[in-house]
Amino acid sequence: MSTTVDPTQPWAEAVAGRDGRVVAVGRAADLEALAGPATRRIDCGGRLVLPGLTDAHVHTLAYAIRRRQVSLFGLTDLEAVRERLAAAVAAAAPGEWVVGWGWDSNRWDEQPTAALLDVIVSDRPVALARMDMHTWWVNSRALEIAGVTAETPDPPDSAIGRDDAGRPTGLFSEWNAIALIERHVPQPDAATLAGWLAETVAEANRLGLTGLHDQRVEREGAESLRLFQALRRDGRLTLRVHANVAADFVAEAAALGLQCGFGDDNLWLGHVKAFADGAMGSRTAAMLAPYEGEPGNSGIVVTSTDKLWQTLVAAGQAGFPMSVHAIGDRAVREVLDVMGEWATARGVTAVLPMPPRIEHVQLCHPDDLGRLAEHGIVASVQPVHLPSDWRTADRVWGERARTAYAFRTLLDRGTALAFGSDAPVAPLNPLLGIHAAVTRQDETGQPAGGWYPAERLTVAEAIAGYTLGPARLSGKADRLGSITPGKYADFVVLSENLFEIDPAAIPGVSVWLTVFDGRVVYDPSVHRTF
């Protein structure tokens, strides 16, 4: 049985495709007449067939790299972190950097410092990215190599953690501060990255993904686009990639005459990506009022409204809509102000083929919940963050968290939603995102009854967030996002019917088959990808 995500024919028994396109949807007996001697028939055994899923927010190259680093993701005990790092140090070559990611000190009794890492290893540099990638934690050897001392000033729009005497503690928050360390970390060569990216594409297919929106930043931008193009030329890009352009490259794109949509239906240029603030867990998300228990901290404004306006104008004139990272309620409001003013003054949304988007919209002030729909702005959100973030949100935002991850309210007020993972910040598996949107719980069933359960979505709405939502965001809803005659034959078959099982069981559902462009690209029965 297929849920088509096509309101004109929501359910069907069978789907027929030819030359990579859907040619018919309906009853199996009716479609059988279209089959010929060479037709391949796939009996899904009554399993649920969905349109191919698209992750609307992935840092793809970063994800490919992080998969090879020391993972601290999900470790809630500092002692477990020590053990994981000690094992990595023992396996590393002498003097080699130990690089990892995924830590979350919000669940620890101690806060991360260079001194804590020095106890584990002091003779080689260690650099560990927080799970949100907005803060790095390093040891004293890394500080020494980077030449960071008490006299080193905080870079613009960033912060170096310091003790009461002004000495660096080993924490670096936001991109300009992180760059002080990152520039010294050895990077893999292009051939290595190409292999890692190809493996990531295959993993995405295994998870039922046939598309993604690559949220590149300056550090990854040119490299990832080159690698995606190489995979495209070799016929190995079995994903439809919406490639965003880092805001720092707007002038270069304009000079070349590039615009959104440039490319084909396998790889194309998307939005111009900018950052308004930091992250909740790092307590650098820009807030209208200070964090709970931190009267002097209202986060970090990474890009001022004046700079955002300049970027928006430049992007619009070059033929690109904007995609802006905004997590705190101040950041969301300021982005809404800038996007709303530009749309009203210029009518950009009526000209560009893709709508503007705000990434995360993690905390929206109640007064701003209807403003995205008012200006035709898509909320590109990541339900999969909720299971790991709700405790932190309650602690750092208090009662304000009532309008965090406000999916139901946004949808009911007319906001279009597109779902993603923010991988490697969170798992790439879209089924975990569907589970979080539907239950607002983690995989252990906590919190009981769901976190602010009034914001839950239905299974159908969550599936739309991974199908039609991203397709509309790319301006390709006429070709992608539903099982409709004329659209691309991109499908995923699941082991269980999400509409019939207990929503708590969704994380245990697996992918039975993935079809991209009319050909099978993942079939676990033969234990390989194609």
- The answer on pLDDT for 528 being more than 50 is no
Q: Pick the more confident residue, 220 or 430.
A: 430
Domain at 48, CATH number: 2.30.40.10
For position 530, what pLDDT does the model report? 41
Would residue 280 count as lying in a domain? no
Same domain, 78 and 151: yes
Domain at 117, CATH number: 3.10.310.70
- The answer on pLDDT for 346 being more than 90 is no
Torsion of CA 446, 280, 176, 111, to 10 degrees: -70
For position 122, what pLDDT does the model report? 87
Domain that residue 91 falls in = 63-182
For position 230, what pLDDT does the model report? 94
Percent of the chain at pLDDT exceeding 70: 97
Average pLDDT of the residues in 243-269: 95
Same domain, 77 and 158: yes
For position 157, what pLDDT does the model report? 84
Would residue 404 count as lying in a domain? no
Average pLDDT of the residues in 216-222: 59
User: pLDDT of 66-98, one tens digit each?
Assistant: 888 898 888 888 888 888 988 888 888 888 899
For residue 455, name the pLDDT band (cuts at 50, 70, 90): very high
**Do residues 57 and 359 touch, judged by C-beta distance below 8 A?**
yes
**Do residues 515 and 492 touch, judged by C-beta distance below 8 A?**
yes
Would residue 239 count as lying in a domain? no
Same domain, 86 and 27: no
- The answer on pLDDT for 257 being more than 90 is yes
User: pLDDT of 127-179, one tens digit each?
Assistant: 999 888 889 999 999 999 999 999 999 999 889 999 999 999 999 998 899 99
DSSP 448-473: TT-SSGGG---HHHHHHHTTHHHHHH
Would residue 506 count as lying in a domain? yes
Quick one: which of 96, 97, 94, 105 has its CA closest to 72?
105
Last residue of a domain, one of 141, 158, 182: 182
CB-CB neighbours of 38 under 10 Å: 5
Would residue 390 count as lying in a domain? no
37: exposed, middle or buried (Cβ count in 10 Å: 0-12, 13-18, 19+)? exposed
Same domain, 40 and 73: no
For position 13, what pLDDT does the model report? 93
Same domain, 91 and 154: yes
For position 348, what pLDDT does the model report? 52
Average pLDDT of the residues in 514-520: 97
Token pair belonging to 95: 């003097």
Last residue of a domain, one of 167, 182, 197: 182
Token pair belonging to 22: 């859907």
Same domain, 135 and 68: yes
Average pLDDT of the residues in 241-246: 96
Whole-number average pLDDT of the chain: 93
For residue 529, name the pLDDT band (cuts at 50, 70, 90): very low
For residue 217, name the pLDDT band (cuts at 50, 70, 90): low
500: exposed, middle or buried (Cβ count in 10 Å: 0-12, 13-18, 19+)? exposed
| Least confident range of 8-22, 203-217, 262-276, 337-351 | 337-351
C-alpha 159: how far from its chain's center? 24
Q: In what order do the strands lie in the sheet with 209-214?
A: 53-58, 209-214, 240-246, 267-275, 322-326, 357-360, 378-381, 417-419
Count H helices and E strands in the chain, helices first. 17, 23
What are the φ/ψ torsions at residue 263 (nearest 5 degrees)? 130, -145
Would residue 250 count as lying in a domain? no
Last residue of a domain, one of 182, 214, 233: 182
- Per the structure, the count of domains in the chain is 2
pTM of the model as a whole: 0.90
User: pLDDT of 180-192, one tens digit each?
Assistant: 999 999 988 889 9
Same domain, 67 and 22: no
Would residue 39 count as lying in a domain? yes
Same domain, 87 and 39: no
Would residue 409 count as lying in a domain? no
Same domain, 87 and 40: no
